[in-house]
Amino acid sequence: MIISIKINGIHHELDSDPSTPLLWVIREQIGLTGTKFGCGIAQCGACTVHLNGIPIRSCTTPLGSVIDQEITTIEGITPPASDVLHHVQQAWLEVQVPQCGYCQSGQIMAAVALLNKNKNPNDDQINTAMKGNICRCGTYPRIKTGIKKAIQLMQANINSPKDA
């Protein structure tokens, strides 16, 4: 079945079974590997992408349910061809958040979604937004610091170039 989807602003026509989870379509058919597989059952958040700005678990989202809606992956959180990092990514580098890094695309997507709807979340709100994302390397304290740093950067509107 031919299905049309929109990822990071680009339309794709795919010949795919509509029950295929979005995660595998993004990774294998579109070739964007920043979105990760961790559990396949909506328990870890490694596969988090945005659907119309809302964070979803792409591992349990059937392709057929997102036809022509706005899907954003880690590769698309800054405007295409822009050479600056997102405030959250920049904050992540300042705080030196990642360790193995495997969970971090999902963490960043969850954090970006949180800050899009709440510009100044408190600790409880951060916990609620982030507790769906597992990090086996235990970067949670730094993720929390990173989110607070991102808030500061957003308020000051400081952008740094990608290759900084």
Partner 1 sequence: MRKLTRRAFIGTGLLASGALVIGVSIQPGNRSEKVADLIADADEYVFNIWIKISPDNTVTIIVPHAEMGQGVHTTLALMLADEMDADWDKVIISEAPAQEEYTNHMLLKGFVARDIDFPNFLINTVDGAFLKIGKIINFQVTGGSASIRFTGQLGMRISGASTRQLLIKAAAAQWQLPEKELSAQKSFIHHEKSGKKEAFFTFAQAAALLEPETNPTLKSVDQYQLMGTSPPRKDLPLKVTGEALYGMDIQLPGMKYASIKASPVFGCKVTSVDASSLKKIKGFYQVVTLENAVAVIADGFWLAKQALNKVVIKFEKNDAQNIHQKGVFEQLRYDLNQAELNNDFNIDFKTGVIPDQKIKSKDQFEATYRVPFLAHATMEPMNCTAWIHDGICEIWIGSQNPLGIKSEVADLLDIEMKNVQVYNQYLGGGFGRRSETDVALQAAWIARETTHPIKLIWTREEDIQHDFYREANLSQFKAVLNSQGKPSIWINQFLFKHHPPEASIPPYLIPNQLIQHTESTLHVPWGNWRSVDHSMHGFFIESFIDELAHLQNEDPFEYRASLLAHQPRFLKVLNKAAEKSSWHQSLPENWGRGIAIHQSFGTIVAEVVELRIIEDKIHIERVVCVADAGFAMHRDAFIAQMESGIIYGLTAALYGEITIKNGAVEQHNFHDHKMLRMDETPIIETYIINSHEKIGGAGEPSTPVIAPALVNAIFNATGKRIRTLPIQNFDLLS
Binders of ligand FES in range 35-54 (CB under 6 A): 37-40, 42-47
**What residue 84 binds from ligand FES, partner 1, none (CB within 5 to 8 A, per partner kind)?**
none
Which does residue 126 bind out of ligand FES, partner 1, none, counting CB within 5 to 8 angstroms by kind? partner 1
What distance in Å separates the CA atoms of residue 133 and residue 114, rounded to the nearest whole number?
A: 13
Q: Show contacts with partner 1 in window 54-83 (CB under 8 A).
A: 73-75
- Considering only the stretches 3-11, 103-111, 112-120, 151-159, report the one whose residues sit in contact with partner 1 under the rule CB under 8 A: 103-111
85 φψ region: left (φ > 0), alpha (ψ -120 to 50), beta (else): beta
Binding segment (CB under 8 A) for partner 1, from list 4-12, 85-93, 112-120, 150-158: 85-93
**Is residue 47 close enough to count as binding partner 1 by CB under 8 A?**
no
Among 26-34, 65-73, 88-96, 101-109, which window interacts with ligand FES (CB under 6 A)?
A: 101-109
Nearest one of 58, 48, 35, 51 to 133, comparing CA atoms: 48
Q: Which is nearer to ligand FES, 23 or 150 (CB)?
A: 23
Q: Which is nearer to ligand FES, 67 or 100 (CB)?
A: 100
Select from partner 1, ligand FES, none the partner in contact with residue 7, using the beta carbon and a kind-dependent cut-off of 5 to 8 Å.
none
Partner residues linked to 96 by β-bridges: none
Any contact of residue 84 with ligand FES (CB under 6 A)?
A: no
Parallel, antiparallel or unpaired: strands 10-15 and 54-57: unpaired
Query: Rounded distance, CA 44 to CA 42, Å?
Result: 6
Residues constituting the chain: 164
Closest CA to 106 of 135, 127, 144: 135
Q: Are 98 and 146 in contact (CB under 8 A)?
A: no
